[in-house]
A = this chain, B = another copy of it.
Amino acid sequence: MDLSERKLKILQAIVGDFIRTAEPIGSRTLSKKYDMGISSATIRNEMSDLEELGFLSHPHTSAGRVPSDKAYRLYVNSLMEKRTLTKQEKEFISKKLTNNVSELEKTIQCAARLLSEITQLTSFALTPNQNEDKLKYINILPVDSSTVVMMIVAESGKVSNTTLRLIVPYSEDRLELLSKSMTYYYKGKTLSEMLKVDIIKNFKTDIVALSRLAENIMPNFLHILEGMLDVNLYMDGYTNIFSFPEYNDIVKAKMFLEMVNQKDIFTNILINRDNGMIVTIGNENADNHMQECSLITASYHIDGKLLGKLGVIGPTRMKYDEVISVIELMTENLSESFKLTGGNEENE
Number of interface residues of A (CB under 8 A): 44
Contacts of A250 in B (CB 8 A): 242, 248-250, 253
Once the chains bind, are B261 and A238 in contact (CB under 8 Å)? Answer: yes
Within A153-169, the residues touching B (CB, 8 Å) are: 153, 157-165
Tally of this chain's copies: 2
Contact across chains for A141 and B139 when beta carbons are under 8 A apart: yes
A147 near B345 with CB under 8 A, answer no
Interface residues of A in 305-348 (CB under 8 A from B): 341-348
B residues near A271, Cβ cutoff 8 Å: none
In angstroms, Cα B253 to Cα A141, docked, is 50
Closest Cβ of chain B to A183, distance in Å, is 12
CA of A211 to CA of B32 in the docked complex: distance in angstroms? 73
Known: A220-B102, A258-B239, A348-B348. A157 touches B163 (CB 8 A): yes
- Judged by a CB distance under 8 angstroms, whether A136 is at the interface is yes
- Residue of B with least CB distance to A156: B163
Cβ proximity bits A125-162 to B, threshold 8 Å, 1 near / 0 not: 00000000000100101010011010101000111111
Assess the B224–A239 pair: CB atoms within 8 A: no
A164 to B253, CA, bound (A): 43
Within 8 A of B (CB), among A210-239: 220, 223-224, 227, 238-239
In chain A, positions 237-261 with a C-beta closer than 8 Å to chain B are 238-239, 242, 248-250, 253-254, 257-258, 261
A193 at the interface (CB under 8 A from B): no
Report A223 CB to chain B, min CB distance, Å.
7
A23 at the interface (CB under 8 A from B): no
Query: When the two chains form their complex, are residues B346 and A227 in contact, meaning their CB atoms are under 8 A apart?
Result: yes
| Chain B residues positioned under 8 Å from A160 (CB to CB) | 346
Decide: B242 and A147 in contact? CB cutoff 8 A. no
Set B159, B165, B239: member contacting A257, Cβ < 8 A: B239
Q: Within 8 Å of chain B (Cβ to Cβ): is A206?
A: no
- Tell me if A89 is interfacial: C-beta within 8 Å of chain B: no
The distance in angstroms between the C-alpha atoms of A343 and B163, with both chains bound, is 6
Chain B residues lying within 8 Å of A172, measured Cβ to Cβ, are none
Top 4 closest pairs, chain A to chain B, by CB: A157-B163, A162-B346, A242-B254, A165-B344
Q: Please name 19 further chain A to chain B contacts, defined as beta carbons within 8 Å, in addition to the given A165-B341, A239-B254, sorted by A numbering.
A: A102-B220, A103-B162, A103-B223, A136-B143, A146-B342, A147-B157, A147-B344, A158-B163, A160-B346, A162-B345, A163-B344, A163-B345, A164-B344, A165-B342, A227-B346, A238-B261, A239-B257, A242-B257, A242-B258
**Cβ contacts A to B, 23 pairs, < 8 Å:** A100-B223, A102-B164, A103-B162, A143-B153, A146-B342, A147-B342, A147-B343, A151-B151, A160-B346, A161-B347, A162-B347, A163-B345, A164-B344, A165-B341, A165-B342, A165-B343, A238-B257, A242-B254, A249-B250, A250-B250, A250-B253, A257-B257, A348-B348
